[in-house]
Structure 1
Amino acid sequence: MDRLSGFRDDVIASRDTNPIIKFTYALGDKFVSAVDWLQRMVSEPNFPRPVPELGWLGVTAVAVWIALAVAGWRIAVLVAASFVSFGLLGFWSDAMDLLIVTFVSVAIVVVIGMPLAVWIATSRRADRVVTVFLDLAQTMPTFVYLLPIVLFFGIGASGAVVCTLIYALPPLIRIAGHGIRSVSPTTIEATDSAGQTFLQRLFKVQLPMARSTIVVGLNQSIMAALSMATLASYVDGPGLGKPVLNALTRVDIGGAFVPGMLIVVMAIMLDRTVTAASQRRDVAAHGEGWSTRTRRIVLAVTGVAVLVCIYESRQALWAAQFPENQSGRWVADRVNSLTGWVVDTIGGFTEGVKNLVSSVLIDPLQSLLAESPWWLAAVAILALAWVFGRSRAIVPTVVCLVGIRLLDFWHDAMVTLTMTLVGTALVMVLAVVFGVWMARSRRVDLLIRPLLDAGQTIPPFVYLIPVLALFGPTRFTAIVAGIVYAAPAAIKLLADGVKNVSPTTVEASRSTGATTWQEITKVQLPMARGAIVLAANQGLLYVLAMVVIGGLVGAGALGYDVVLGFSRSEEWGRGAAAGVTIVLLGVMIDRITRAAADYQPQTAATRPGRLAARNRAGAATVG
């Protein structure tokens, strides 16, 4: 920790002389300039004007017209309602700031990510190299990005943009690269035989045929950027995350609820807009929607209306600055009243649940991992790594455990691991129950899947608000928030895995008279083992990320250590060491579960020697 604090001091002292630090700060200044210019355009007064260059009416009109042009009238109505809600609830400037940080970050992600996606799609060596960095970036909990980025880029808009683009970059590279790589080899060979160059094949064949997959990657990057831009408020990043964080520190549930719900509204708006825009060409190809002539007339007429709105927003104060109102505070007060009533009504039940889970699961496991001698806990973890992943899991587990021990955060790491394991166990219970139910019933799948999709668009920061209201600032709050955050992804992965089990195999089990329970436990779940392990992998990483963020609401352990590093400059080394420890913990968890997914235990029927002996014996008997 002392060495890390010394490293920080050296970096700060060399800002004017070290070429690397000068470059990063110069780059950060460029990001600040871009964000500042956009803020003066749409969200902050542009001196000497007392209002932005483009008022709320003009901004809303432009956004609605773009949505109409690229996604259709339904999405245009959604965008209009979303923008009006930002102003009605009193968070216009904060909402625009969050959109600005997200827009700038995603624009840079596209510029960097698409060439890398093409590179890994066309070069196996590049794929192996880049994948290592993508794995590390996606394994690292979001909260950990902030400390080193603030050191090299500073706080405010620069730090917010950098940490957001780093977090949003892997989804686009992975998914777009997969889409380009998945283009039919026959099509590629046909273009090669026609004498096309590499660039012609890329722009005329591969990118157009991978368009839908690339859009999925872009959508995921936008959601990741919105999530991280919200969390970046902890390093003074602009946006809706600031009022959420301020309200959480005051335990003002209503005050956090209003901007938190606006973040959800923004996430849904962006998600639906990008998805609808990607499908517009297919909709038009099927003859649905407006004809080309009608569409052009509508866009021309509405374009004139947009110009009128822009002019009005530059001339009239009412159209430049959203009228002040108390709607947001009124909603916050109602939420606080409702929260008080709910806590008074079911507070005893929630307290009982918290105490039961703590006494049955959390406390015994924490005593085993955190209170036992470190070497005994390490041996137990290594034994589990061997059982689940054999030799592939042992080496990374040893490296990570040694690193955690050397950083002197063993106890806090084991407490964090305890919370992560308990949360993941409960996530997997939900995943098995609802995943199997969805896989076996189309009606249930149609009912639950939209709720899971909506749950995945909610930034993790927002999950803390209702859970904090019910359980207060404790470690259990972080666990429950982690369960809610991780459950949608785990349930969908397991449901899809069970659904993909061969119908012939399921029918064969039914023909033998197997009951429903036997069919599920003896056929579907064993054959969906890969999906189950993948769901557990994602669940572990999601819960770990949420448990770390839970340091903001009293979860303690490594999350608190990182928060302490932010809060007090003299504790920066401690926060950085805790961040590295979290990374090691995440990598260890990821490698164990991945090795478990790849490992196929050999049974008596599958071991090569025994199988050959059995075949020889069978042949001799027949002879």
Structure 2
Amino acid sequence: MAATTAPPAPARAEPGAAPQEAEDRGTSRLLLVLGVVAVWILVWAFTKGQDTLTLSGRERTPVMDDLGAFRDSVLASRDSNPLIQLTYGVGEAFVAAIDWLQRMVSIPDFPRPVPQIGWLGVTAVATFVGYAIANWRIALLVLASFLSFGAFGYWSEAMDLLLVTFVAVGLSVVIGMPLAVLIAYRRRAETVFTNLLDLMQTMPTFVYLLPIVLFFGIGASTAVVCTLIYALPPLIRIAGHGIKSVSASTLEATDSAGQTFWQRLTKVQLPMARKTIVVGVNQTTMAALSMATIASFVDGPGLGKPVLSALVKSDVGGAVVPGLLIVLMAVMLDRATTAASERGELVARGHGPDPRVHRVVLGAGLVLAAVAVYVSRLYPWAAEFPGTPLRDTAASWSDATVAWFTDTFGGVAGGLADAVSYGLLNPMQALLAESPWWLAGSALVAISAVAGGVRAAVAALVCLGGLRFLGLWHDSMITLTMTLVATLMVMVLALVLGVWMARRSSVDLVLRPLLDMGQTIPPFVYLIPVLALFGPTRFTAIVAGVIYAAPAAIKLVADGVKGVSQGTLEASRSTGATTWQEITKVQLPMAKGSLVLAANQGLLYVLAMAVIGGMVGAGALGYDVVLGFSRSEEWGKGAAAGLSIVLLGIMLDRVMRAAAHHTH
């Protein structure tokens, strides 16, 4: 009886000791952070407005002049510099490849007044490929998508976007897969490339448009290069993770048979990581499509051009229709790549369609596709899509919908903007931007040290020193304020909607497609209705950043909370825990890693919108980048602003990661 009624005390105490100790450490760090902020506010009260390093008007620092001089020297040496000749040669190769593909499927190949393969032939071939690599459902989706491109009057632009996407994704696979293998096998290479990929993903696309235009010119070449830079990191990261995750026991078993490195890679690791690699290709494709509108700023072909043209004229319908076609294209490619991967697994397990029937259908489809190609070369109606009856109707409907939405919810939107601006944004900006630079810098380093330790403090010190050197300290603090406020709003949405999705499968079923659409729709498409609601203000930029960043954060929180085991939940319910206790005491703490990742990704996504925010009244670093892009004499200031955004992203990323590691 004694053994059953009096178990040893340590057995009960030990499991709770570590969580209690971690909670105490967290409380102590929070109190220290609040102490630092209190001292900061006290000193700010006596020093605000001093040494804020504000630049007036078109004022530039020597660093900005040096960057501008660098640009001028590059342009002056275009005909003699081997590097410039090399990059321009690569750019001309891209232009030639895209031009040849365009003349095949999207633009007239003079003296022929239409492309070599008309819309009927292209649609038939694409539908056949959809069936060949996946199934009949994907074939129907491809057919409907291609017909939509023509029916809404954007056939040529849609084909151009597909061509740029395929070229960029193809180059990403050629470049990214060897690098993925390298980081899977070499820890030092993984460290180096992780930092480089962080930089590529942190840097807003407008920032590297400046040097790309300088070295590649404008047009299709720059569109391909900037799309490649943005789309490459997901493939390297995800494919490298998949290759590295193949179990050691499997590798040891196959190595015992005397296989070579190449055999192990091609016969074991790549096949076993195929599903993960397909996810990487899928994410790279989505990233490439999201660059459609950005590429149009450098005269890149595709659906981004009508979106940008409509935005210049504040034409809501003209922007929404091609923007939604980009979303449709993203859904089509996403479902096709996923279904192709699943079909390969089904066939390998013997669960695919009957091989004889499949071969007959493939043969018949190939014949029909060939006939359609032949017909599209002979008859004008099959070469050029007939009419655009749906474009104007859809545009008018979009205009009316946005007008109704702004009229109905304009008052609520204004109240929300005032509440956030006066309650959170203005006080934070006053503290960050109106403090002397040395006070704000010291406080930020101290907070970083408390939250993440020495490594976080060093990262903050280096990045803040870089901001001081580049000469845009005041604008950087304003951008930092908007980024922190937007990230806070993103995490509120992520926690509420993510937990709801994790606990209700019906909610997940409804919201997940909307989140997928939110991740693929070009930011410029929803800028016009946001502008209509809030006007050209800082809050407009914050809302645009939230819309762009929230989908990824919400899905990460939902997947993390959903991953908490049912056994753990049942154990908590058996103790009489309420729903609120179950969420706050069990699910959220156990999904802590996903919450940290959601906050990290949300922050980086928000910062990536800084330049676009500068176009809608946010000012600060985003406006400086846009100014440098539009005026050659301000190129140096734009480059300094772009580098400042990168430093902010690196600092916030490193401090957040160190803080998350510091809590374990």
TM-score w.r.t. structure 1 length? 0.93
Does residue 10 of structure 1 match 2:76?
no
Judge which range, 488-497 or 209-218, deviates more.
Answer: 488-497
TM-superposed deviation, 1:285: 4.9
Does residue 244 of structure 1 match 2:277?
no
One-letter code of the match for 1:160? A
TM-superposed deviation, 1:364: 1.5
Does residue 313 of structure 1 match 2:376?
yes
Q: 1:174 matched to which residue of 2?
A: 237
Q: 1:619 matched to which residue of 2?
A: none
Q: Secondary structure at the match of 2:258?
A: coil
Q: Secondary structure at the match of 1:235?
A: coil
Instruction: Supply the distance in 2 between the matched residues of 1:187 and 1:260 (Cα, whole angstroms).
Output: 46
Q: How does 1:338-357 map to 2 (within 5 A)?
A: 338-357=401-420
One-letter code of the match for 1:424? T
TM-superposed deviation, 1:311: 0.9
Instruction: Supply the distance in 2 between the matched residues of 1:380 and 1:329 (Cα, whole angstroms).
Output: 55
Per-residue CA shift, 1:250-309, capped at 9, x if unaligned?
Answer: 211111111111111111111111111111123345665631111111111111111111
Q: Number of aligned pairs?
A: 601
Structure of greater relative contact order (alpha carbons < 8 Å, 6+ residues apart): 2
Q: 1:614 matched to which residue of 2?
A: none
Per-residue CA shift, 1:406-448, capped at 9, x if unaligned?
Answer: 2111122112111111111111111111222233334433443
Does residue 325 of structure 1 match 2:384?
no
Instruction: Supply the distance in 1 between the matched residues of 2:130 and 2:450 (Cα, whole angstroms).
Output: 52
Q: 2:187 matched to which residue of 1?
A: 124
TM-superposed deviation, 1:452: 2.7
Q: 2:162 matched to which residue of 1?
A: 99
Q: How does 1:418-433 map to 2 (within 5 A)?
A: 418-433=481-496
Does residue 297 of structure 1 match 2:373?
no
One-letter code of the match for 1:26? G
Does residue 444 of structure 1 match 2:520?
no
TM-score w.r.t. structure 2 length? 0.87
TM-superposed deviation, 1:504: 5.0
Q: Secondary structure at the match of 2:291?
A: helix
Contact 1:253–1:469 (CA under 8 A) maintained in structure 2: no
Distance 1:40 1:374, change over 3 A: same
Q: 1:37 matched to which residue of 2?
A: 100
Q: 1:398 matched to which residue of 2?
A: 461
One-letter code of the match for 2:246? V
Q: 2:208 matched to which residue of 1?
A: 145
TM-superposed deviation, 1:470: 2.7
One-letter code of the match for 1:517? W
Q: Secondary structure at the match of 1:39?
A: helix
Match among 207, 227, 232 for residue 164 of structure 1:
227
Instruction: Supply the distance in 2 between the matched residues of 1:493 and 1:345 (Cα, whole angstroms).
Output: 32
Q: 1:535 matched to which residue of 2?
A: 598
Q: 1:478 matched to which residue of 2?
A: 541
Does residue 61 of structure 1 match 2:138?
no
One-letter code of the match for 2:595? I
One-letter code of the match for 2:110? F
Distance 1:468 1:123, change over 3 A: same
Instruction: Supply the distance in 2 between the matched residues of 1:470 and 1:317 (Cα, whole angstroms).
Output: 45
Match among 248, 257, 271 for residue 185 of structure 1:
248
Per-residue CA shift, 1:439-472, capped at 9, x if unaligned?
Answer: 3334433443343334333344434244234323
Instruction: Supply the distance in 2 between the matched residues of 1:7 and 1:302 (Cα, whole angstroms).
Output: 57
Match among 467, 470, 475 for residue 412 of structure 1:
475
Contact 1:534–1:593 (CA under 8 A) maintained in structure 2: no
One-letter code of the match for 1:556? G
List gaps (5 residues or longer) in structure 2: 1-63
Per-residue CA shift, 1:542-574, capped at 9, x if unaligned?
Answer: 111123222233332211111111111111111
One-letter code of the match for 2:490? V
Does residue 547 of structure 1 match 2:604?
no
Per-residue CA shift, 1:468-499, capped at 9, x if unaligned?
Answer: 34323332222112112211211222223233
Does residue 134 of structure 1 match 2:197?
yes
Contact 1:101–1:229 (CA under 8 A) maintained in structure 2: no
TM-superposed deviation, 1:505: 4.7
TM-superposed deviation, 1:74: 0.7
Instruction: Supply the distance in 2 between the matched residues of 1:164 and 1:291 (Cα, whole angstroms).
Output: 40
Q: 2:31 matched to which residue of 1?
A: none
Contact 2:159–2:302 (CA under 8 A) maintained in structure 1: yes
Per-residue CA shift, 1:304-331, capped at 9, x if unaligned?
Answer: 1111111111111111111232421232
TM-superposed deviation, 1:506: 4.2
Distance 1:439 1:335, change over 3 A: closer
Judge which range, 216-225 or 507-516, deviates more.
Answer: 507-516
Q: 1:274 matched to which residue of 2?
A: 337
Contact 1:164–1:225 (CA under 8 A) maintained in structure 2: yes
Match among 293, 298, 301 for residue 230 of structure 1:
293
State the identity %: 69
One-letter code of the match for 1:40? R
One-letter code of the match for 1:407? L
Instruction: Supply the distance in 2 between the matched residues of 1:446 and 1:343 (Cα, whole angstroms).
Output: 28
Distance 1:341 1:437, change over 3 A: closer
Match among 563, 576, 581 for residue 639 of structure 2:
576
One-letter code of the match for 1:49? R
Aligned-residue CA RMSD in angstroms?
A: 1.8
TM-superposed deviation, 1:234: 1.0
Contact 1:533–1:596 (CA under 8 A) maintained in structure 2: no
List gaps (5 residues or longer) in structure 1: 602-623
One-letter code of the match for 2:318? G
One-letter code of the match for 1:394? A
Q: Secondary structure at the match of 2:481?
A: helix
Instruction: Supply the distance in 1 between the matched residues of 2:333 and 2:385 (Cα, whole angstroms).
Output: 22
Q: 1:616 matched to which residue of 2?
A: none
Q: Secondary structure at the match of 2:434?
A: coil
Does residue 600 of structure 1 match 2:663?
yes
One-letter code of the match for 2:86? F
Per-residue CA shift, 1:86-121, capped at 9, x if unaligned?
Answer: 111111111111111111111111111111111111
Does residue 23 of structure 1 match 2:101?
no
